[in-house]
A and B are shown apart, each in its own frame.
Chain A
Amino acid sequence: MATTQIRMEKPKPNVWPMRLWYLLLGVMLLVGAYGMWQTLWHGLAVTNLTDRVPWGLWITHDLSAIALGAGAFTFSAVVYLFRIKRFEPIARMAVFVGFLGYSSAMLALAMDIGRPDRFYHPLIYWNVHSVLWEITLCVILYSTVLIIEFVPIVLESRFFNGRPRARAFGHMLHKLTPVMAAVGLGLSLLHQSSLGATYGVLSGREIWFKPSMPVLFILSAVAGGVSLTLLVTIVVSKLSGRELIDKFLRRDIARLAAFALLAYLYLKMWDWAATSYYSHAPGTADALLRLQATTPYTQSFWIIEVFLGILVPVVILLNRPLRRQTGLLIFALVLVIVGVVVNRWNVTLSGLTVPPQWSPGVLGNVVATPYFPSWVEVFVSLGILAYALLVLTLGVKYLPLFRKTAVAEH
């Protein structure tokens, strides 16, 4: 049974780890399906969201998935636009991970909007003044780009062995890759930054209202997206026993992630210094004080986002003896991803839990509103995560994500 299923690879003695993995994903999918049914049937009342904190876990999921999908546009641009061919072996994996990220984000958004039946409205009713409208259009267009980049990989798989016309169509699409890389780069630069601008343009929310937001978002997205692509590649290499990328490429990608992290850190620290250290903007200072009093925002900012999410991984990624230990490298990449996710959570919740004081009195009736996701929210997020992990597993198993370069360079 086991030998027929995985004839491409070396025979594995034990099928149980994979079976347990599928079982876990199956349970997560079931739980997610239950959560989605609850949400669609009863409405968003099943969440812990309120009019004060109308965005929470799902928006964090959505922002994180898009940010962590940024490896796709980064590597597509590096390989197909700037023609730095030594990164080519990882480009397909990056596109695949990006596709999973964007499709996850769209699933999370579909659950999060109050009227999923009107999902198409941004396409027919345009408000060009809204960054969210721009993001919606960019994400839809970019998902199309990802599909065009991804379809040739599917058509190259062994399922299409007897279908030359499908293969020919795949090759034709593949020729579009450089154009798609250019379009994808433009679209990604726009919407990845605009996701930060979603918060950065809100003049009534002092803790958000700053021009650094879009740039912080895109820098962290590049760092996170590159890291996730490398992480998946290394984990798959380790599990399958195949060296999917050589140690030089591994080094170069680790460095790319580290440099993106350093650029992110540079701006992040200036952002903090300019808004909270060298200056005293009353609104921002007041909001930060109230955040400190009611949430672990300050600790999670410094400990998780900056120390664990940037400094520790940068040291590991740039230090050869440390980087060469696969376990440590995996640890560093996981930290980067956790740092990006916690950042998206912190950004979203910080501006909402401490709303601006608009009452002319002093009793402080505009109070901080705590938020913690409900079980249904957690279930839906687990389901979407399971979707991404399941498709990733199947893709790694059945798609030629790494084979192409080995064949083409002969």
Chain B
Amino acid sequence: MTTTSQKNKQSSLLSRRDVLKIAGATGGAILLSRAFTSGPLSADSISGLARTTHASAAHEWHMGIDLDKCIGCQYCLWACQATNDVPDDEMRWNVGFPERTENGTDFFMTRPCLHCQEAPCTKVCPVGATWVREDGIVAMDYDRCIGCRYCEVACPYDVRRFNWSVSTAENPYDPTWGTPEVARRPRGVVEKCTFCVHRIDRGLEQGLTPGVDPQATPACVNICPVGARVFGDVHDPDSPITKFLEENDTFRLREDFGTEPKVHYVRPAKEEV
């Protein structure tokens, strides 16, 4: 601003004071970044504050879907809509549609949330409203979500659903296929399949075994008339999912994405593959 400072500046490109300033700024930046990554301002210590989960790393919940057994009755979709109170078919957490293999065999494809261990949706959320719990379930905090929909953009499996308007419609699947066990989500937040986490958490408190005791098992698994869906703790050697994985040659959807999904499929028409 003043003319004197303009005269001084021509001496050299960087004065000693400039160097000290830069060094100070660099040091400060390093300290600050340490605080952000592992210190008191880190994601784990800050965003963990508001999270009260019953999750324990002792369990890890996985699901198995046998596309060879599936008969395409769609009961799993409807039971999910009743239990989680999703009246609108467009908003289905658990989707299903007719498919065909390369060899021309028709089958019915269904997909809940895959609860990826390396979930792209949880990494991108700017407010930490969705995260991978200690037991592997990808959880949502509807009270924290700002509705930016970056998680929808990041999820390669089209799992997430945004509440574009207030959901007031009557649920056509209640009570035939079950009764709502969770509150309907407000307008402007993202929702998705939870693996019926409310049943798992409550069931564990009551000493039940998710995957075995129906009250502690996802609705879609319970309703399946042919037992095409199984659920359980992969850390438990006797759980249905552990046996399912031992007995079958399974695959996961688009493993090349590196998302590490926790839903395992058995191919349709096993003999052909």
Q: Do A and B form a real pair?
A: yes
- Chain B residue numbers with a CB within 8 Å of A136 are 126
Chain A residue at smallest Cβ distance from B46:
A126
Q: Which of B101, B148, B156 contacts A112 (CB 8 A)?
A: B148
Identify which of residues 88-128 in chain B touch chain A, using a CB-to-CB cut-off of 8 Å: 90, 97-102, 107, 109, 111, 120, 123-128
Q: Which residues of A contact B97 (CB under 8 A)?
A: 359, 365
The number of chain B residues touching the other chain, given as a range, is: 35 or more
Decide if B47 touches A127 in the complex (CB within 8 Å). Answer: yes
B4 at the interface (CB under 8 A from A): no
Residues of chain B with a CB closer than 8 A to A44's CB: 147, 162, 164-165, 188
The CB with the most chain B CB atoms within 10 A, among A127, A135, A175, is that of: A127
Of B123, B145, B149, which contacts A129 at CB under 8 A? Answer: B123
Query: Within the assembled complex, what's the spacing in Å between the Cα atoms of A202 and B156?
Result: 9
A168 within 8 A of B: no
B254 touches A361 (CB 8 A): no
Question: Which chain A residues lie closer than 8 Å to B189 at the CB level?
Answer: 114-115
Q: B102 touches which one: A203, A359, A362 (CB < 8 A)?
A: A362
Q: Are A114 and B188 touching (Cβ within 8 A)?
A: yes
* Minimum CB–CB distance for A110 against chain B, Å: 10
Interface digits, A24-57 against B, CB 8 Å rule (1 contact, 0 not)?
Answer: 0000000000000000001111010101101100
C-beta contact mask, B216-237 vs A, less than 8 Å → 1, else 0?
0000000000000000000000
List the A residue with the shortest CB-CB distance to B95: A365
A364 to chain B minimum Cβ distance, whole angstroms, is 10
User: Binary interface profile of B, 66-102, with partner A (CB < 8 Å = 1, else 0)?
Assistant: 0100000000000000000000001000000111111
Q: Are B126 and A51 in contact (CB under 8 A)?
A: no
CB distance from A73 to the nearest CB of B (A): 17
- Asked, given contacts A128-B37, A131-B124, A356-B254, whether A51 binds B162 with beta carbons under 8 Å apart, the answer is yes
Question: Is there an interface contact between B153 and A54, defined as CB atoms closer than 8 Å?
Answer: yes
| Contact for B109 among A132, A171, A361, CB less than 8 A | A361
Q: Please name all residues of chain B whose beta carbon is closer than 8 Å to the beta carbon of A83 when the two chains form the complex.
A: 9
Number of interface residues of A (CB under 8 A): 51
List the A side residues contacting B254 at CB < 8 Å. 204, 356, 358
- CB–CB B259/A51 < 8 A: no
- Contact code string B229-273 (vs A, CB < 8 Å = 1, else 0): 000000000000000000000010110011100000101000000
CB distance from A194 to the nearest CB of B (A): 11
For A278, the chain B residues whose CB sits under 8 A away are: none
- Chain B: CB-nearest residue to A174: B1
Measured CA separation A177–B38 after assembly (Å): 33
Q: How far is the CA of A355 from the CA of B126 in the complex (A)?
A: 22
CB atoms of A125 and B251 under 8 A apart: no
Q: In chain A between 351 and 385, which residues have their CB closer than 8 angstroms to a CB of chain B?
A: 351-352, 355-356, 358-363, 365-366
CB within 8 A of A114: which of B111, B144, B149?
B149
Closest Cβ–Cβ distance, residue B13 to chain A (whole Å): 10
* Complex: chain A residue closest to B251, CB-CB: A360
A120 and chain B: residue at smallest CB distance: B146
A160: chain B residues within 8 A (beta carbon): none
Nearest CB of chain B from residue A147's CB, rounded to whole Å: 19
The reply to whether B127 and A133 form a contact with Cβ atoms under 8 Å apart is yes
Q: Tell me which residues across on chain B come within 8 A of A113, comparing CB atoms.
A: 146-148, 188
Task: List 7 additional A-B contacts (Cβ < 8 Å) besides A113-B148, A126-B128.
Answer: A43-B166, A121-B126, A130-B123, A132-B124, A205-B154, A356-B156, A360-B253
Q: Would you list the 7 A-B pairs with minimal beta carbon distance, nearest first?
A: A114-B147, A204-B156, A114-B188, A361-B99, A45-B165, A133-B126, A54-B149
